[in-house]
Chains A and B, each alone.
Chain A
Amino acid sequence: MKDVYITKLEKTRAEILVSLKEQKTCITICGGTGCHAYGCLKVAKAFEDEIKKQNLQELVDVRTTGCHGFCERGPIVVIQPDGIFYQRVQITDIKEVIAETIKNKKIIERLLYVDPRTKERIIQEKEVPFYKKQKRIIFGNNGFIDPKDIRDYIALDGYKALAKVLFDMTSEEVIEEIKGSGLRGRGGAGFLTGRKWEICRAANSEVKYIICNADEGDPGAYMDRSLLEGNPHSVIEGMIIGAYAIGASEGFIYVRVEYPLAVNNVTIALDQAKKFSLLGHSILGSEFNFDIHVFRGAGAFVSGEETSLMASIEGRRAFPRQRPPFPALEGLWGKPTNINNVETWANVPLIINKGADWYSQIGTKKSKGTKIFSLVGKINNTGLVEVPMGITLKEIIYDIGGGIKENKKFKAVQTGGPSGGCIPAEKLDLPIDFDTLIKAGSMMGSGGMIVMDEETCMVDVARYFLNFTQEESCGKCVPCRLGTRQFVEILTRITQGKGEEGDIKKLEDLSESTKAGSLCGLGQTAPNPVLTTLRYFRNEYEAHINKKACPALVCKDLIAYYIEPEKCVGCLLCLKNCPVDAISGERKKVHVIDQELCIKCGACFDICPPKVMAVSKYTGRKKDRMIKKASR
């Protein structure tokens, strides 16, 4: 039996490889969520239609792939095998791409990426600075794979690791290999994966479960989504290997309901895996049986916490519970359960294929391998980046990210989501791994990296996160339920200019008690955004409280908009766009904002042409002076 399936798998692989060797031109279109929003599906459809119209199907393939990561530049089109990288491709460009690039082998300069620093136009994807410093061992295949076609994954050595594990390795050997690699959980806490498996394997039970935690709730992090959407089989293969090592017979992928494309692609992938006998009864003809179900979450951040997640699968409210007992011993329905994050699972086949020694060469002493970060916020090159552990923040933000938008000044980078913290400019040389981030007061978390510039108010950011945790607190523990509410009240007061002396001390005390008195990670880490901003940006809190000023000019109650008379050209643009008719003036005459009527929406500030820039924001004493001046 075994030989039949293995032969079938290898035969499929060989067939696909032969067809690939024919070097047919392939137009790949990024189908990640970012590009979806830019309209990539229409672009893909237009390519297909045009290819058909011109009768080129024999020569050219069109393939919608997983996320390429460079979301800022979508829709992204890469033409293989040459790797020509076209960005921001519109439907109107398609005829030209086919006529010029496909038929005449000519590059269309206009669609190339321009390096903002050297002004050089870059042809190949791998030469784009955004990709150059990355090490895309997990994420790299996304751009080649059609996630809805298992054959694409098989062609790239897919399920080879599974065959190796099933027929050449014992469960113990698999666990040893994972332990040897030094892989740590990518969900946030960074526990050693191999050790976790070992504990679960040793647990005495007939029934065991495996869970893939794809409840990626951290705002600003979306690498799990892109992996599941773009390369679902790498996660599934990892899970099957894990199940074999632990001795589990049933698995669950818990996906956020906000990720419909991920649910769709992973469901298709599971069906296809079953057809290839990679799931279900007697996998690849071995004695091993294992099946995976998809579970759609229902919109609760706390369900990303492992005990809450299991309660949710059981059909209950996602309340966390006391640990121990840990899920490895008593998890889903009281049975030993191993739960890992999406990215962790995707690392597993790679470690089996290439070996623990190879893997452990990447990264730092205690954090091995790569990590995918979502680089977002006020950064030029927004997107998903995969880098070796130990790379510095500076390299990520400036070399890969291309620096701060509109050449503004870098202020901080927020990592670790609502449980993490803000890291200031003086720490830019920090090599990133699990431990250095904790030392800096933040954490790896799931890998969100939100870049903030001088126009981001740190008190407002802290308020934002506490508001988030307050809304998402499940309410079980009093210090979390009421503590987060107190945080929000105090921080809101401060941002409204109603801060009092002693507020900072109150925030610090409250942090202590919330941390100490909460059961799960949500409450224990909720004060982190406040603590790190207090640690690095205390002066901003003091300015809000003592001077009633918001240095970043963000907090509405502390700022005023003002039209500079010497700059205003009287174009009526702001006047027409003011939603509350607070601006008066005539054509070619200076406009004035009525501060009483102004709701500080910023519409005038946004609309004033960059050449004119007559609308300014003021805070603190300067604001009071300006208001006085204007009322005269």
Chain B
Amino acid sequence: MRKIFSEFSPDQRELIHIIHKVQKEYGYIPPERISEISRHLKISESEIFGVLTFYKTFTLEPRGKHLITICMGTACHVRGAPAILDEFRRRLGIEPGETTEDKLFTLETVNCVGACALGPIVISDGTYHGQMKMREVEKVLKKYKNEKAG
């Protein structure tokens, strides 16, 4: 944390930059870091909590080893994204925003990744899978399934 703080002046305008950095470092925002940020920026913890829960990117829970993101943009929607999402929900047994019990997968939706030509799109750990079909859902998951959660 000290290293992160050294890059930013103690000013509210740095708050979102700092949260980005913390999330990158830990994969999520560990609650105890909030008070450290509060002391550094001299803003109340409740305000920091308000900011980080306002924005979708930030999460207070650790994510699974693999992140599956389903694009729910309009172009993907009309090309069948809801059915793809349903299939992931069914196979993983979790709702968007949740992590599987074995901590292997986190399922998320996003409102548009701007690659509309390829809809419906699924992103697994940064790899784009364009023009997804229902039957390809298993293929995407299979790659990781044999691993043990890290």
Contact = CB atoms under 8 A, between A and B. Distances in A.
A607 B133 CA distance: 10
Interface string A189-231: 0000000000000000000000000001111111001100000
Contacts of B90: 579, 599
B98 interface: no
A601 B85 CA distance: 11
A383 B117 contact: yes
B122 to A, nearest CB: 11
25 contacts: A33-B114, A34-B115, A71-B118, A219-B72, A219-B73, A221-B114, A257-B20, A259-B114, A296-B17, A296-B20, A298-B57, A298-B58, A299-B58, A300-B55, A317-B50, A377-B74, A378-B79, A383-B117, A414-B74, A448-B74, A450-B74, A464-B77, A602-B80, A603-B135, A607-B135
B137 to A, nearest CB: 9
Interface string B94-123: 000000000000000011111111110100
A46 B17 CA distance: 37
Contact of B111 (A259, A468, A603): A468
Contact of B116 (A222, A299, A461): A222
B68 interface: no
Nearest to A474: B54
User: Could you tell me the dominant secondary structure of chain B's interface residues?
Assistant: helix
Which among B54, B79, B90 has the highest number of chain A CB atoms within 10 Å?
B54
A376 B114 CA distance: 10
A314 interface: yes
A514 B32 CA distance: 40
Nearest to A417: B74
A560 interface: no
A412 B74 CA distance: 13
B144 interface: no
Given A300-B55, A601-B87, A258 B74 contact: no
Nearest to A37: B128
A257 B115 contact: no
Minimum-distance CB pairs A-B, first 6: A71-B117, A222-B114, A299-B56, A298-B55, A37-B128, A219-B73
B105 to A, nearest CB: 18
Contacts of B70: none
B115 A222 contact: yes
Contact of B121 (A37, A220, A259, A301): A37
Interface string A26-58: 000000011011100000000000000000000
A461 B78 contact: yes
A300 B16 CA distance: 13
Interface string B54-68: 111110000000000
Given A298-B16, A314-B13, A222 B112 contact: yes
B118 A34 contact: yes
A312 B128 contact: no
Nearest to A32: B115
Contacts of B133: 606
Given A299-B57, A315-B16, A602 B83 contact: yes
A450 B112 CA distance: 13
Interface residues of A, number: 60
A548 to B, nearest CB: 20
A599 B89 CA distance: 13
B93 interface: no
Given A226-B114, A461-B78, 13 more contacts: A33-B113, A33-B114, A219-B111, A298-B19, A298-B58, A300-B56, A312-B16, A317-B51, A378-B78, A383-B117, A450-B75, A464-B77, A606-B133
B36 interface: no
A341 interface: no
Contacts of B118: 34, 37-38, 71
Contacts of A221: 112, 114
Nearest to A451: B78
B79 A377 contact: yes
B135 A577 contact: yes
A452 B79 CA distance: 9
Contact of A318 (B54, B111, B130, B134): B54
Contacts of B25: none
A318 B17 CA distance: 14
B37 to A, nearest CB: 11
Nearest to A414: B74
A351 B3 CA distance: 46
Contact of B130 (A38, A259, A383, A414): A38
Contacts of B44: none
A382 interface: yes
A302 B130 CA distance: 27
B15 interface: yes
Contacts of A74: 117
Nearest to A296: B20
B116 A374 contact: yes
B55 A376 contact: no
A103 interface: no
A599 B13 CA distance: 49
Nearest to B20: A296
A557 to B, nearest CB: 13
B15 A258 contact: no
Given A72-B117, A468-B111, A36 B128 contact: yes
Interface in A434-453: 448, 450, 452
Nearest to B47: A316
B58 A37 contact: no
A258 B112 contact: yes
A448 B112 CA distance: 12
Contacts of A603: 134-135
A72 B72 CA distance: 19
Given A316-B12, A579-B90, A34 B117 contact: yes
Contacts of A225: 114
Contacts of B130: 37-38
Nearest to B73: A219
Contacts of A298: 16, 19-20, 55-58
Given A38-B130, A607-B135, A257 B78 contact: no
Contacts of A456: 78
A472 B111 CA distance: 10
A62 interface: no
Interface string A308-343: 000011111110000000000000000000000000
A311 B94 CA distance: 34
B115 A37 contact: yes
Contacts of A315: 11-16, 51
A452 B78 contact: yes
B116 A382 contact: yes
Most buried by A among B14, B57, B79, B114: B114
Contacts of B87: 579, 601
